[in-house]
């Protein structure tokens, strides 16, 4: 994961754009499966995407959607 915030944001935006459709909901396991295609630490990538606002999860963490 890039250390520079701007570069990290670019990478995360690219992942969100290429792996997830905007109008679709995903289960946590679907998100993990998609993220594992690029890195084995899918939970870290998932967390980065949520913190960046590129993925939004329900309060109980069972459903994810594309953010901004």
DSSP class of 22 = T
Q: What confidence tier does 12 reach under pLDDT thresholds 50, 70, 90?
A: very high
Residue identified by tokens 């670019």 is: 10
Predicted TM-score (pTM) of this structure: 0.89
pLDDT at position 1 over 90? no
Look at the alpha carbons of 34, 35, 37, 42 in this order and tell me if their dihedral is positive or negative: negative
Q: For residue range 34-45, what is the model confidence (pLDDT) as tens digits?
A: 999 999 999 999
Can you tell me the distance from the alpha carbon of 46 to that of 57, in angstroms, rounded to the nearest whole number?
A: 10
Domains observed in the chain: 5-66 (1.10.10)
- Average model confidence (pLDDT) across the chain: 94
Given strand 63-66, what is the order of strands in its sheet? 25-27, 63-66, 55-57
pLDDT at residue 24 greater than cutoff 90: yes
């Amino acid at each position: 994961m890039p250390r520079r915030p701007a570069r990290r944001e670019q990478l995360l935006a690219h992942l969100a754009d290429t792996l997830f459709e905007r109008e679709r909901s995903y289960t946590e396991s679907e998100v993990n499966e998609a993220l594992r295609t690029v890195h084995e630490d899918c939970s870290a990538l998932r967390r980065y995407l949520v913190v960046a606002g590129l993925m939004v999860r329900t309060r109980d963490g069972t459903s994810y959607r594309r953010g901004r």
